[in-house]
Chains A and B, each alone.
Chain A
Amino acid sequence: MPETITILKNYTGTGYLFTLYLTSVAYLLFTEKEKHLRALIIYTPLTLLLIFLLPVTHRLYSAALDEETYYRMLWLLPLGITIAYSGAKFLTGLKKDSYRRVGLCALAIVIILAGTYVYSSPNISKAENLYNLPGATVNVSEYILNDAEFDFIYAVFPKEHVHFVRQYSSKIRLAYGRDVLVDRWGFFNPIHDIMENHEIIDIASLLEITRPKLINYIVIHWTRATCDNPENYGLILLDQVDGLLIYRDEIVAIEIRETIGQYFPKS
């Protein structure tokens, strides 16, 4: 099966809504009299769909642009507009008001059944604040921003918070970011490896890497086990906020104060 068909299948999910779209196009093909509308919402989309399905287009697109975004060519099909227009046109053609009323309800139900409710997505949750960021990330970031002596904040966060910390404040630099978390991108980061890929966090190995980089804050979820008490290595436990233990590396903090701190006055 050509890869373009697979991409189309992945794009259309269950395929019901896309079938409804093709049905709408077919309906318009027989009923639409306006030539310019036929050109705009029938011929052009069908041509684009054909172009999309051609393996050669896929190859050219992937070579010139980015294979991962090939599905976006399907954005050019006016799926919603065509279904809505053909539905409205069909209902207008009905002679009796009662047919129209029933037809409106029936078509609405078809759309609902053919589609997938966007707010049931696992990626959507109740907003905890206007930032739409996890409250724990906001609270811990705010704590660190208040605690820092200089505008030099370099931190290690658990992976659950990595996406969000810098959406709250770009003043906090991260030892590893989202790029490390996306497996298919294939990035390796030794700090991430120590923090996330082992059951017990090896603090000594961690500090061996973080100290030369002047990483001055380390945040660990309270449920995570460490091979020794981090405070034995010069880390100071500042607080536990929303289940996150906030450590400041005092050795690094002193080094920053004595060396580069003056270049990062607190704003």
Chain B
Amino acid sequence: MLILQLLLQFLSLTAWLFIIPFLTGLLPARFIPKERRTPGVIFLAGFIIFLAVFELISIIVVLNAVHGGMAILLRWFTPVAIALAALGLGTEIVVPSVLFTERKTSRGTLTFNNNFPPIWQRRASSPGFLKTITQIPEKIFGKNLSWETKLVWLLFFILLGFQLFMALTRASFDGDDAYYIVQSLIAKERGFLYRVEPYTGDSTVLNMRNALAVFPLWITMLAEKARIHPTIVAHSILPLFLLPMTYLLYFQIGKSLLKNKLESLPIFMVFISLIQIFGNVSIFTNETFLMTRTWQGKAFAAGFIIPAVLWLFLLISEFSSAAVYWFLLGILIWAAGISSSLAVFLVLILVTVFGFYLAIYHRSFRFLLKTAAACIPGAAYVILYLILI
């Protein structure tokens, strides 16, 4: 019975942390340039959209529901998330763009870009799927790796494994948990969203300063889906997901930075992981936040959201015609609000400076306009915040 329960909890977390975001990512995937249309990019894109949708629905519920807010939030978010994932999967099946991008036929190799047949023109068998799956490791790490490169990759995975082991076996004390984790727990046990004083349990008015940063409610959503105590989800489960996902983001950043020298990618990843482990030069650094408060929204902002802005700007610079990255940037700025309201302000500053310099680099006024357009969701968040506090 216990094994069955653990299995169901594992499957539920897998669905809500990996499968649904990934399938959601299939929606924008077809618009991502083919060179970057990898499972990692699709997952990250899907995860950003997933968070943004959660943020939007949560804010509406938090501001309006006095009682039973968590139940209402789940009632609205669950079908929307599943619908987005189903839409992503459905469009992928009907008009493939990812899984069946290449297939050998008697007439040569067919790809999505040169009219791989949609479902109504396709035969029942699709050998390209298996081929694509078996090619994934090669696509991720590159072809014909030297033993040295493999060794450095191994070193990186040992460092990552060490961090995950420490995340699971070590407890990190942080006073802010008494606020954020308890908000998650109140939402699960009592259904109130930001309407109870977390330190003592007294009733209070809606806390506007934090009400728009709904990362604790995202933890509660996972806890509800998997039927696990939110504190366990936050402290013991989320780091096992968030840390690898952060490294997936750094991997993508490294790929963009080192695009002509991909054999150096494992070196980049080893250095990044060492800096995470040894970045605790003060209690304030983003490395310290990510490693010691992984489950808090502000750590998510420091470790994921802010680097993700750089990642998207690297892609925008690389593929300036791909509108999908501007779309994702706009969504990301909005999703930054899930981690903390301050994150949106910080990200807007970062985007403005990035946009300014890249506009000079591209010598394009339109670039500035696109940057401004991407800031609209973030600006809406800021206006909402200023109205509410």
Give residues in A with beta carbon < 8 Å to B: 10-18, 35-37, 39-41, 43-44, 47-48, 51, 65-66, 69, 71-76, 78-81, 83-85, 87-89, 91-92, 97, 101, 104, 107-108, 111-112, 114-121, 123-128, 130-133, 162-164, 166-179, 181-182
B275 to chain A: which residues have CB within 8 Å? 17, 79-80, 83-84, 111, 115
Q: Are B281 and A116 in contact (CB under 8 A)?
A: yes
Q: Judging by beta carbons under 8 Å apart, are A104 and B232 in contact?
A: no
* CB < 8 Å neighbour of A124 from B171, B198, B298: B171
Provide the bound-state CA to CA distance between A163 and B182, in Å.
10
Task: Decide: A40 and B358 in contact? CB cutoff 8 A.
Answer: yes
Please give the distance in Å from A264's CB to the nearest CB on chain B.
12
Q: Name the residue in B179, B190, B271, B272 with the highest tally of chain A Cβ atoms < 10 Å from its Cβ.
A: B271
Q: Is the CB of A13 within 8 A of B199?
A: no
Contact of A126 among B171, B200, B286, B357 (CB under 8 A): B171
Cα–Cα, bound, A79→B284 (Å): 13
Whether the Cβ atoms of B169 and A40 lie closer than 8 Å is: no
Q: A115 touching B264 by the CB < 8 A rule?
A: no
Complexed CA–CA distance, A233 and B230 (Å): 38
Interface string of B271-307 (1 = CB under 8 A from A): 1101111111110111110011000001001100011
Closest to A267 in B: B189
CA–CA, A85 and B185, complex, Å = 40
Q: A127-B168, A163-B175, A168-B231 are in contact. List 14 more A-B contacts (CB 8 A).
A: A11-B282, A36-B358, A37-B317, A80-B279, A89-B261, A91-B267, A92-B264, A104-B267, A116-B278, A116-B280, A123-B172, A126-B170, A163-B177, A170-B185
B258 part of interface (Cβ distance < 8 Å): yes
Cβ of A53 to closest chain B Cβ, rounded Å: 14
Q: Identify the interface centre among A66, A80, A114: most chain B CB within 10 Å of its CB.
A: A80
- C-alpha spacing A249/B163, complex, angstroms: 46
Q: Is the CB of A169 within 8 A of B185?
A: yes
Asked whether A40 and B310 contact (CB < 8 A) given A92-B264, A173-B200, the answer is: yes
Which of chain B's residues have a CB closer than 8 A to the CB of A12? 281-282
| B277: min CB distance to chain A, Å | 6
Which residues of the partner chain A approach B280 to less than 8 Å between Cβ atoms? Answer: 115-118, 120-121
Q: Which of B263, B292, B360 contacts A121 (CB 8 A)?
A: B292
Quick check: A11 and B178 within 8 Å, CB to CB? Answer: no
Residue from B272, B282, B361 in contact with A35 in the complex, judged by beta carbons closer than 8 Å: B361
The reply to whether A118 and B261 contact each other, CB–CB distance below 8 Å, is: no
Question: Is B248's CB within 8 Å of the partner chain A?
Answer: no
Q: How far apart are the CA atoms of A117 and B278 in the complex, in Å?
A: 4
Given contacts A123-B174, A130-B236, contact A89 B264 (CB under 8 A): yes
Is the beta-carbon distance between A76 and B349 smaller than 8 angstroms?
yes
Main secondary structure of the interface of A (DSSP, over half): helix
Chain B residues positioned under 8 Å from A89 (CB to CB):
258, 261, 264
Are B200 and A84 in contact, with the CB atoms below 8 A?
Answer: no
Known contacts A36-B358, A44-B357; A10 and B282 CB within 8 A of each other: yes
Q: Which residues of A contact B178 (CB under 8 A)?
A: 162-164, 166-167, 177-178
**Taking each of B152, B232, B282, B298, which has the highest tally of chain A beta carbons within 10 Å of its own beta carbon?**
B282
The answer to whether residues A44 and B350 also contact, given A84-B272, A111-B271, A131-B235 and a CB cut-off of 8 A, is yes
User: In the docked arrangement, what's the CA distance between A74 and B281, Å?
Assistant: 13
Check B278–A115 contact: CB distance below 8 A. Answer: yes
A119 and B288 CA atoms in complex are apart in Å by 10
How far apart sit A184 and B44, CA to CA, in the bound complex (Å)?
40
Indicate whether B108 reaches chain A with its CB closer than 8 angstroms: no
User: Nearest-CB distance from A41 to chain B (Å)?
Assistant: 8
User: Chain B's nearest CB lies how many Å from the CB of A85?
Assistant: 5
B350 in contact with A76 (CB, 8 Å)? yes
Residue B166 interfacial (CB < 8 Å): yes
Q: Separation in Å of the B315 CB from the closest CB of chain A?
A: 11
A167 adjacent to B177 (CB under 8 Å):
yes
Given the interface pairs A48-B349, A170-B182, the reply to whether A131 lies near B229 with Cβ below 8 Å is yes
- A52 (CB) vs chain B CBs: closest residue: B349
CB-contact partner of A174 in B168, B171, B201, B353, under 8 A? B201
A-B contact pairs, 13 of them (CB 8 A): A39-B354, A81-B307, A101-B148, A104-B270, A115-B278, A116-B279, A117-B278, A118-B276, A119-B277, A125-B173, A166-B178, A166-B198, A170-B190
B292 and A123 contact, CB distance less than 8 A = yes
A72 and B342 contact, Cβ closer than 8 Å, known pairs A132-B231, A163-B175, A173-B200: yes
| Complex interface residues of chain B between 234 and 273 (CB less than 8 A to chain A) | 235-236, 250, 253-254, 257-258, 261, 263-265, 267-272
B51 part of interface (Cβ distance < 8 Å) = no
Residue B15 CB within 8 A of the other chain? no
A41–B181 alpha-carbon span in the complex (Å): 35
B200→A175 contact, CB < 8 A: yes
* A170 with B287: CB separation less than 8 A: no
Q: Are A43 and B278 in contact (CB under 8 A)?
A: no
Cβ contacts under 8 Å, B325 to chain A: none
Q: Are A118 and B360 in contact (CB under 8 A)?
A: no
- What is the CA–CA distance of A168 and B189 in the complex, to the nearest angstrom? 11
Residue B346 interfacial (CB < 8 Å): yes
Contact B189 A170 (CB under 8 A): yes
Q: Which residue of B lies closest to A176 (CB)?
A: B200
Q: B13 near A: Cβ within 8 Å? A: no
Kindly state the separation between the CA atoms of A174 and B178 in the bound complex, as whole angstroms: 12
A115, B349: Cα distance in complex, Å: 28
A68: min CB distance to chain B, Å: 10
Residues of A near B267 (CB, < 8 A) are: 84, 87-88, 91-92, 104
Cα(A91)–Cα(B198), bound, Å: 50
B345 within 8 A of A: yes
Contacts A36-B317, A76-B350, A104-B152 hold; do A166 and B199 have CB atoms under 8 A apart?
Answer: yes
